[in-house]
Structure 1
Amino acid sequence: MTDSDGGPDEGAAPDADAAPDTRDGDAPDLTLDAFYDALESAGRPLLTATELSRLLDCTQTEALAALEALAGSGRVESADVEADPTVWFPTDYKETADRERIVVFPGRRQVVVDAPSQFTRAQLSQFAHLEDANREHGYVYEVREEDVWAAPYDDFAGLERTMRQALGERNEALEEWVKSQWERARKFRLRSHEDGYTVLEARNADLLGNIAERELDEGQLRARISDTEAWVAEESVAAVKRALYEAGYPVLDTRHLDTGEALPLDLRVDLRDYQHEWVNRFVEKRSGILVGPPGSGKTVAAMGVMSAIEGETLILVPGRELAAQWKETILEHTSLADEQVGEYHGGKKEIRPVTVATYQTAGMDRHRHLFDDRKWGLIVYDEVHHIPSPIHRRSADLQAKHRLGLSATPIREDDKQKEIFTLVGPPIGTNWAALFDAGYVAEPEIEIRTVPWADDESANAYADAAGHERRQAAAENPAKIRETRAILRDHPGAKALIFVEYIAQGEAFAEALSIPFVSGEMPHARRRKLFDEFRNGPRDALVVSRVGDEGIDLPNAEIAVAASGLGGSRRQGAQRAGRTMRPVGKARMYVLATRGTEEEDFARSRTRHLQGKGIRVREREAETLDPGDRTGDDRTE
């Protein structure tokens, strides 16, 4: 780093460009220039000691000592942030033109942030919705009712602290509105009466008479117990919660339900500190949703919950591959025997103390009584964002003592995610950025790459099309095959998943790249064999349709290429990026979009949720390619 006259920066040590010396276990000799280089490599204006240790290839203790030594010169400062490690930044960062600027519009309940840091984005995601990530006009966040209702805090003071950290100051008008919504979400609660039935309790008589009794259907409340309490029909509990939520009054569920038969089990894997926190918070609340990035160990944490509760458990999943995966994981990591764990779906019909069933099967009338008749101590809703759909929501009527949802992305494009929190429970999660900083999960490097048309014929077909055909023409641009081949050649030997939205496109990729295409049309046995070969064998690439979007555990995937996607689905974008989020290694995702088409906007929309979680998303243009350019050896089976 130099002054404007080109001379050395005052205070910089001689040979400032030299690599830090970490020989013999000594702390690296960290100069200010080397620190700026590290910031540039990380792509953010602040660092933790853990991040610096990875960049300098030294221990976290050595990196911390180096930072403290540099701080002694007055050129670097540190700050402790809520639920995150200490962050370090240059002293003059506050005076630079590139620093983030935050403007709050309390009347519209919007926050506009120019050049937000990773930490700020992560904090805002705790109570606000990322509406737009237009780099030219800044990140636009909207604070909605459902965001406040679902904020993962036990008291308003915790939410208030996060708001002030994210916004940098107190905003009385916005805080007053947020507090009113926080209190609104606590005006009704369900509790268990000492005689065994369920009671709806209102904060005051007016709420019970003018809100609850007006909004609920006849028969859902059997009788009044007092001016503020009513007896709830047992079969209507879920319907009562849903109706009051839609009326703008989320219901706290504090019932003490039967746990059913006891099921002692030991967990054979050590939980991380944050997983212990998840388990403890869930056991205290008895319902909730674990929200964390893919690879953060939500399934293992769920088994930790099973071990803590020791009750018979029903696990609901989207598909049979995931059911088999759950059973294998439970048998591997707990003391349960094979005869204690069953699967219930189109291929198997086993009801055991721990039963893994598909949502679709559990919601069918001819099977429902099998699940209703058993007293489950715990119901686990995996990929819980499916709950609001017509087929899956019937399973939410199963109201066990403990209801646990799992999802990296409890968002839906129809904005019905609010139903998830009232039917299952509030979010119990962690700050994604904290797990990235601590090294528990590899933060993915995400790049939107715009691709030119392969030829005039493809461009003309797009121009002549309309509606869905137009979107499909952009998605199936043949130039994406060449760009994907180039990406694979840039990462030799890396395990890669190539996602497509259309069957014809998947078949074209498979033929051109000599890579198997896994779709819903493939028999289950063949599909499972290919996934097993990708996990455990020499197979290093698969083309996959939506069957690979969620639930399937492919822990060694290093590269994800989204050749086409479901419009602007934020959840799909997060799920596909999540295939590469694991504790070790570099995780990379490439989102391909045909240049000059609406696919570019779709690509930005699909990555918006990730940006809101603090993940950096970069954009670049692919080179204009001739058919013979950037070819190489195709991958083989």
Structure 2
Amino acid sequence: MSYVAENALIIQSDRSVLLEVHSPRADAARAAIAPFAELIKSPEHIHTYQISPLSIWNARAAGMLVADMIAALRDHVKYPMPEAVAQEISALGSRYGLTVIKRDDNRLLLKTADVPLAELLSRTNEVAKYLADRLSDQVFAVNAGDRGVLKQSLLGAGYPAEDLAGYVTGDALKLELRPISASGAPFVLHDYQKASAEAFYQAGRAQGGSGVIVLPCGAGKTMVGLAAIAQVQENTLILTSSLTSVRQWQRELLDKTTLPPDAIAEYSGESKQTAPITLATYQILSYRASKDGEFPHFQLFKARSWGLIIYDEVHLLPAPIFRITAELQARRRLGLTATLIREDGKEGDVFALIGPKRYDVPWRELEGQGFIAAAECTEIRISQTTARQMEYAVAEKRHQFWIAAENPRKHEVVRSLLQKEHGHRILIIGEFLDQLKQLATLTELPLVTGKTP
């Protein structure tokens, strides 16, 4: 067995990849695998990545060849890569694009790479129910309203579709990005922000127009959204995770584009207006009076002829919005996020309904270039008093976390840190309100909760 000491990767048979952070080739290895491997955890010395079907298909959608993925792994391994892993990557990667959705005049078609695959899909119940007439050995008609759910079912069957059916044209919206912002500061997109928007739009071709841009927090995802709007030049619906985000988008649109104030509207609990650029929250759209009731605000999706829908913080997209998004596949769709990982495991729905990952810049790269602030993390472990140790030992499991979290010895540590960092802006985040109230009393600092106006 050959061994290359300076290489950084150890590849395991379950397609997990271990990266030795202190290896001399660690940075090169990280850059090589980032397009097709998901970072799972990153403690001090060994970072863990996972190569999944979805991570492979995202890389394939971005144009990466299977051979390049395998070569990247082999170039950076300490020990030889298990041959089974190479075979799995090859098999999974070759599946992307075996099914293609196209438009023929006013009809949607699903084309398969060969007859056996067409037979397999026609006998797969979850796929077959969204196939209309079989037009030839390898071609099926598809109802326009089933475009999204068909893509979901094909992904579930392991044959993700490449959607080349294109988009309808929304109402025109003329705007430009300002070289000097309204506030008087120069405004220039960073190269990676330009590249993100271009990777999404792809000069208006059917290969672009849908997908997700992954940039770390603080990298200016809103600027990418502005650039995409400027490229599309059509009415745009922007969905965000909070009213605070709505107001932030509104400020940036007015400051950095030539749009007048009356071209931007807010659709929220406070105001239900629409305009060429309309901003709304996921919460207002997913509201319904009862568990089985209708979603009254879904009418916003039909209020105007939208040419672009932007999903901010797409990893927080609630399930009801997925449902309506499945019906909006003829509209251009841009997802913005710092991570593709979702708590509910619906990354596949993002891929199928919003689109594949179009551009990704690791936080370490932008940190190294000075585009985002460097982060220094320190963990301080604090022992309990003897009495609280006994309280913890006899408590029910669900209460043990609460007892540990509210360790009163943390108060002195917080006080010490505040003294050490005096003069800096400081935010203290806690899990439980009682603990935060105690800290607010101790430090005489303001407390922000859900009840804060």
TM-score under structure 2 length normalisation: 0.85
Q: Can you list the C-alpha shifts for 1:560-614, whole angstroms capped at 9, x where unaligned?
A: xxxxxxxxxxxxxxxxxxxxxxxxxxxxxxxxxxxxxxxxxxxxxxxxxxxxxxx
Q: Which residue of 1 aligns with 2:91?
A: 180
Q: Which residue of 1 aligns with 2:199?
A: 281
Q: CA deviation at 1:100?
A: 5.8
Classify 1:318/1:281 alpha carbon distance in 2 versus 1 (closer, same or farther; 3 Å). Answer: same
Q: Can you list the C-alpha shifts for 1:342-391, whole angstroms capped at 9, x where unaligned?
A: 1112221011111111123234521212313532111111110123x434
1:103 aligns with 2:13: no
Q: Which residue of 1 aligns with 2:223?
A: 300
Residues 244 and 250, structure 1, Cα contact 8 Å, conserved in 2: yes
Residues 116 and 139, structure 1, Cα contact 8 Å, conserved in 2: no
1:459 to 389, 397, 403: 389
2:132 to 222, 247, 253: 222
The amino acid of 1:511's aligned partner reads: T
Q: What is the alpha-carbon distance in structure 2 between the residues aligned to residue 304 and residue 212 of structure 1?
A: 41
Q: What is the alpha-carbon distance in structure 1 between the residues aligned to residue 127 and residue 36 of structure 2?
A: 32
Q: Which residue of 2 aligns with 1:505?
A: 435
Q: Which residue of 1 aligns with 2:153?
A: 243
Q: Secondary structure at the match of 1:336?
A: coil
Q: Can you list the C-alpha shifts for 1:182-225, whole angstroms capped at 9, x where unaligned?
A: 11122222222222x32222222332332255233676333223
Q: What is the alpha-carbon distance in structure 2 between the residues aligned to residue 378 and residue 457 of structure 1?
A: 59
Q: CA deviation at 1:459?
A: 2.8
Runs of 4+ displaced beyond 6 Å: none
Q: Secondary structure at the match of 2:345?
A: coil
Q: What is the alpha-carbon distance in structure 1 between the residues aligned to residue 365 and residue 10 of structure 2?
A: 25
1:379 to 296, 309, 313: 309
Q: What is the alpha-carbon distance in structure 2 between the residues aligned to residue 175 and residue 276 of structure 1?
A: 34
CA RMSD of aligned residues (A): 2.7
Stretches of structure 2 that go unaligned for 5 or more consecutive residues are 179-186, 203-207, 288-294
Q: Secondary structure at the match of 1:209?
A: helix
Classify 1:518/1:208 alpha carbon distance in 2 versus 1 (closer, same or farther; 3 Å). Answer: farther
Q: Which residue of 2 aligns with 1:353?
A: 276
Q: Which residue of 1 aligns with 2:64?
A: 155
The amino acid of 2:62's aligned partner reads: Y
Q: Which residue of 2 aligns with 1:435?
A: 366
Q: Can you list the C-alpha shifts for 1:264-308, whole angstroms capped at 9, x where unaligned?
A: 111123111111111111111211111011111111011001001
Q: What is the alpha-carbon distance in structure 2 between the residues aligned to residue 212 and residue 489 of structure 1?
A: 68
Classify 1:160/1:340 alpha carbon distance in 2 versus 1 (closer, same or farther; 3 Å). Answer: farther
The amino acid of 1:209's aligned partner reads: E
Residues 363 and 394, structure 1, Cα contact 8 Å, conserved in 2: no
Q: Which residue of 1 aligns with 2:37?
A: 128
Residues 135 and 141, structure 2, Cα contact 8 Å, conserved in 1: yes
Q: Which residue of 2 aligns with 1:141?
A: 49
Q: Can you list the C-alpha shifts for 1:73-120, whole angstroms capped at 9, x where unaligned?
A: xxxxxxxxxxxxxxxxxxxxx99x9x6653333x33233344455513
1:396 to 304, 325, 328: 325
Q: What is the alpha-carbon distance in structure 2 between the residues aligned to residue 350 and residue 335 of structure 1?
A: 20
Stretches of structure 1 that go unaligned for 5 or more consecutive residues are 1-93, 524-637
Q: Can you list the C-alpha shifts for 1:26-76, whole angstroms capped at 9, x where unaligned?
A: xxxxxxxxxxxxxxxxxxxxxxxxxxxxxxxxxxxxxxxxxxxxxxxxxxx
Q: What is the alpha-carbon distance in structure 1 between the residues aligned to residue 38 and residue 449 of structure 2?
A: 33
Q: Which residue of 1 aligns with 2:190?
A: 272
Aligned length: 423
Q: Which residue of 2 aligns with 1:210?
A: 120
Residues 360 and 392, structure 1, Cα contact 8 Å, conserved in 2: no
Classify 1:218/1:205 alpha carbon distance in 2 versus 1 (closer, same or farther; 3 Å). Answer: closer
TM-score under structure 1 length normalisation: 0.62
Q: Which residue of 2 aligns with 1:326?
A: 249
1:407 to 332, 337, 341: 337
Q: What is the alpha-carbon distance in structure 2 between the residues aligned to residue 168 and residue 278 of structure 1?
A: 33
Q: Which residue of 2 aligns with 1:54?
A: none
Q: CA deviation at 1:518?
A: 2.0
2:163 to 253, 257, 282: 253
Q: CA deviation at 1:338?
A: 1.1
Q: Secondary structure at the match of 1:221?
A: coil
Q: CA deviation at 1:160?
A: 4.5
Q: What is the alpha-carbon distance in structure 2 between the residues aligned to residue 182 and residue 207 of structure 1?
A: 16
Residues 367 and 373, structure 2, Cα contact 8 Å, conserved in 1: yes
Residues 294-303 or 510-519, more deviating: 510-519
Classify 1:409/1:101 alpha carbon distance in 2 versus 1 (closer, same or farther; 3 Å). Answer: closer
Classify 1:158/1:362 alpha carbon distance in 2 versus 1 (closer, same or farther; 3 Å). Answer: farther
Q: What is the alpha-carbon distance in structure 2 between the residues aligned to residue 141 and residue 473 of structure 1?
A: 33
Q: CA deviation at 1:315?
A: 0.7
Q: What is the alpha-carbon distance in structure 2 between the residues aligned to residue 468 and residue 115 of structure 1?
A: 36
1:335 to 258, 263, 270: 258
Q: What is the alpha-carbon distance in structure 2 between the residues aligned to residue 215 and residue 500 of structure 1?
A: 48
Q: CA deviation at 1:444?
A: 0.9
Residues 122 and 432, structure 1, Cα contact 8 Å, conserved in 2: no
Q: What is the alpha-carbon distance in structure 2 between the residues aligned to residue 240 and residue 347 of structure 1?
A: 37
| Bigger radius of gyration | 1
Q: Which residue of 2 aligns with 1:189?
A: 100
The amino acid of 2:309's aligned partner reads: I
Residues 121 and 128, structure 2, Cα contact 8 Å, conserved in 1: no
1:417 to 338, 347, 351: 347
2:238 to 315, 318, 327: 315
Q: What is the alpha-carbon distance in structure 1 between the residues aligned to residue 265 and residue 71 of structure 2?
A: 45
Classify 1:511/1:407 alpha carbon distance in 2 versus 1 (closer, same or farther; 3 Å). Answer: same
Classify 1:331/1:439 alpha carbon distance in 2 versus 1 (closer, same or farther; 3 Å). Answer: same
Residues 33 and 69, structure 2, Cα contact 8 Å, conserved in 1: no
Q: CA deviation at 1:337?
A: 1.1
Q: CA deviation at 1:503?
A: 2.3
Q: Which residue of 1 aligns with 2:290?
A: none
Classify 1:510/1:315 alpha carbon distance in 2 versus 1 (closer, same or farther; 3 Å). Answer: same
Residues 8 and 76, structure 2, Cα contact 8 Å, conserved in 1: no
Q: Can you list the C-alpha shifts for 1:286-334, whole angstroms capped at 9, x where unaligned?
A: 1111101111111101100100110111111112221122111111111
1:112 aligns with 2:18: yes
Q: What is the alpha-carbon distance in structure 2 between the residues aligned to residue 186 and residue 165 of structure 1?
A: 27
Q: Which residue of 2 aligns with 1:426?
A: 356
Q: What is the alpha-carbon distance in structure 2 between the residues aligned to residue 437 and residue 392 of structure 1?
A: 36
Q: Secondary structure at the match of 2:279?
A: strand
Q: What is the alpha-carbon distance in structure 2 between the residues aligned to residue 132 and residue 410 of structure 1?
A: 14
Q: Which residue of 2 aligns with 1:201?
A: 111
The amino acid of 1:261's aligned partner reads: D
Residues 7 and 77, structure 2, Cα contact 8 Å, conserved in 1: no
Q: What is the alpha-carbon distance in structure 2 between the residues aligned to residue 426 and residue 123 of structure 1?
A: 19
Q: What is the alpha-carbon distance in structure 1 between the residues aligned to residue 122 and residue 407 of structure 2?
A: 54
